[in-house]
Each structure stands twice: as C-alpha cells, then as structure tokens.
Amino acid sequence: MSSKILIIGACGQIGTELTTKLREIHGVDNVIASDINTRNLDLVNSGPFEIIDAKNFNAIKDCCKNYNIDTVYLMAALLSATGEKYPMEAWDLNMNSLFHVLNLAKGGTIKKIFWPSSIAVFGPSTPRDNTPQHTTCEPTTVYGITKQVGERWCEYYHKKYDVDVRSIRYPGIISHKAMPGGGTTDYAVEIYHEAIKEGTYECFLSENTELPMMFMDDAIKATVELMQAPAEKINIRSAYNLAAISFTPKQIFESIKKHIPDFTITYKPDFRQAIADSWPSSIDDSVARKDWGWQHDFDLDKMTQEMIENLEKQVCRVDFNPR
C-alpha cells in the first residue's frame, strides 16, 4: 500500500517542489498539501489541499485521521531574518509545530516525520570551514536556536519513543518556482530575478561572504532519498549535515555575467550580514554521503544555467500573456 503523506507548509519555497516530487512518486491523491492560506494557487489546484495552521494541533491531527496519513513533512517555519524581527512568533511556530507532529508519532497516529533543520544551528564559535557533523553549536539567531533545540527533541523522541524522524541541515536553497521568504540566503535567488528583470542587483550581503548553498533539485533529491533510506542506515536522528556548493555574492555574480555580460552589482550589507557572518562558509557532509549515499549534481555554473533558462521562460510567458 502506498504511503499517505501530509505536507505542512506546502506553499513555501521547498514545500512547493517537494509536493510535486512526492506526487510523482506516490500519486497525486496520496499526497495532501496544506498551508495556512492559499497563496500558491497553482499548488492549491494541483491536488488535495487543506488549510492548516501548523500551530494548531487538532487541525493537524484531524487531517491525519481523515486521510489516514502515515508520513508528515513539516515544512512550515519562520526563517532567520524574519525570526530576528519576530522572535516570539518564530519560537511559537517553529517549536510548537514540531511538538505537534512528534506527539502524533509518539501516540501512533503517524509513523514517519521529515523535519528540516538548517546551517543556522551553527554559530560564531563553530569551525567555519568544512564544519563537521558533530561540533560546537551556539547559534545566535532565534531561528538557529529553534532548529538546534528541535534537533535535540527529534533525537530525544527517537531514542525515548522510537519515533522515525529524519532531518537535514539545509544550506541556502536556490530555486526558480516559489520565492523564498525571510531568509539570509535569499539574496542568491533574488540576484537571478533582478539580473533578468533589471540587469542590476543591490546585494544585502558583502561581496566576499561565503555561505553553503544548494540548487533545489539537489535539496529535493536529498529529502526524498533520506526518507526512502532503510531505517538501519540512519545513524543521525538529530539532523544530517548536507552540502553541495559554497560561494560568495561576487562568485555568483560572475557566474551570471557569463550569460548576461552587462549585469552589474552593488553591495549594501544590512542586518542580515551579521547573521551570515555567524554561519559556516562550507560544510562537511561526509556522514550523509556514507550513511545513505548522498551525492549532489549541481555546481554553481550548472545551477546558473538552469536558473537563467527557467526564469527567462517565465518572463516570456508573462510578456506574451494578453491582459
């Protein structure tokens, strides 16, 4: 029997593409998308959809019971930059939604959970280059604190109650479908949109700020493979380090310039610079590679090619749309 899946936060940057992928694998009717509102109409109209506030335990529980859900992907969260503006809201959403699904698994309503962690669990006292799986984690953002604490609770629920919860420390994710919202790594998406629309971009991080990043296709592949891996291969029940590429604003700018030679950039660091400065520049993900065979496909130039091709198609579609 095919798995019945609920995706919470399905209208977000990762949720949108994860929903499509999981529906390809499991069938449209076996993947229930949910979000707090219907902001992504393409997604809402593409299969079963429910409005769910991730902070509402009963709403999640009722949905799981109504659809016989066995697996939940909890993608709803407030990210790093928004979390600094609304610290209590970030704590409330990021922690309570996690407890809700962990407790549903503990109580036997669901069997399996995917919950994303982040490179934000690391802080200024973490080794910056090739950050190991097991290392000092003293995050300085509210978002990072919620992810670090969440990792501890995931491991606790696995050890104590045998909950099958799996997690990845996502780096910055670059994609051309749904926009990211409220993150520090968002510049690496915005830059492509502005390159195509305006030919110029004002970057909110300084030119040599190196951060770990990944193209969406790799992030989705990792998520699916981690969830498909046999339980005995999953030795980390907090969250796996995961890496693909690391680059600076200057390097992504140069990669885009190969396609758009007149593209220009200026740098105007804001409060997000301090967040970026507290995070690693590159990640050692050898444990994920060893445990469940993780391999990435996209380097910077391959990603740039894919981003530009797809965004140009979107611009053409909009231009040819009669109003």
Binding ligand SER (rule: CB under 6 A), the pick from 16, 19, 34, 80 is 80
CB 169 within 8 A of CB 139: no
Q: Which of 71, 118, 148, 209 binds ligand SER (CB under 6 A)?
A: 118
If we measure between CA atoms, which residue out of 158, 63, 156, 170 comes closest to residue 118? 170
In the complex with ligand SER, the residue whose CB is nearer, 63 or 183, is 183
244 is a site residue for ligand SER (CB under 6 A): no
Catalytically annotated residue among 73, 143, 157, 201: 143
Respond yes or no: is residue 143 known to be catalytic: yes
- Candidates 114-122, 129-137, 235-243, 287-295: pick the segment binding ligand SER (CB under 6 A): 114-122
Q: Which of 52, 120, 196, 265 binds ligand SER (CB under 6 A)?
A: 120
We find the least distance from the C-beta atom of residue 61 to ligand SER, in angstroms, to be: 28
Residue corresponding to tokens 């029940």: 237
> 3-state DSSP call for residue 231?
helix
The verdict on 79 binding ligand SER (CB under 6 A) reads yes
- Which one of the spans 112-120, 128-136, 229-237, 300-308 is the region binding ligand SER (CB under 6 A)? 112-120
Residue 252 host element (H or E):
helix 249-257
> Among residues 123 and 172, whose Cβ is nearest to ligand SER?
172
Close Cβ partners of 92 (under 8 Å, ≥ 6 residues apart):
55
Query: How many Å apart are CA 144 and CA 54, to the nearest integer?
Result: 19
Q: Are 244 and 218 in contact (CB under 8 A)?
A: yes
- Shortest reach from residue 224's CB to ligand SER, in Å: 19
Q: How far apart are CA 302 and CA 311, in angstroms?
A: 14
- Residues near ligand SER (CB under 6 A), total: 11
- Judge whether 23 and 42 are in contact, CB under 8 Å: no
Stretch that binds ligand SER, among 180-188, 190-198, 218-226, 297-305 (CB under 6 A): 180-188
Residue holding tokens 């890496």? 243
Question: Between 132 and 182, whose beta carbon lies closer to ligand SER?
Answer: 182
CA triple 265-169-136, angle to 5 deg: 100
Q: How many CB atoms lie within 10 A of CB 129?
A: 11
Assign 3-state DSSP to the chain and report helix, strand, coil percentages, each to 5.
Answer: 45, 15, 40
The number of CA neighbours under 13 Å toward the Cβ of 14 is 30
Interhelix angle 249-257/300-319, nearest 10 degrees? 60
Residue 105 binds ligand SER, judged by CB under 6 A: no
For residue 24, the minimal CB distance to ligand SER (Å) is 25
Q: Which stretch binds ligand SER (CB under 6 A): 178-186, 195-203, 229-237, 245-253?
A: 178-186
Give the residue with the Cβ less far from ligand SER, 141 or 304.
141
The answer to whether 139 contacts ligand SER (rule: CB under 6 A) is no
Tell me how far, at minimum, the Cβ of 143 lies from ligand SER, in Å. 6
d(CA 71, CA 221): 17
Q: Which residues bind ligand SER (CB under 6 A)?
A: 79-80, 118-120, 143, 170, 172, 183-185
Q: Which residues are catalytic?
A: 143
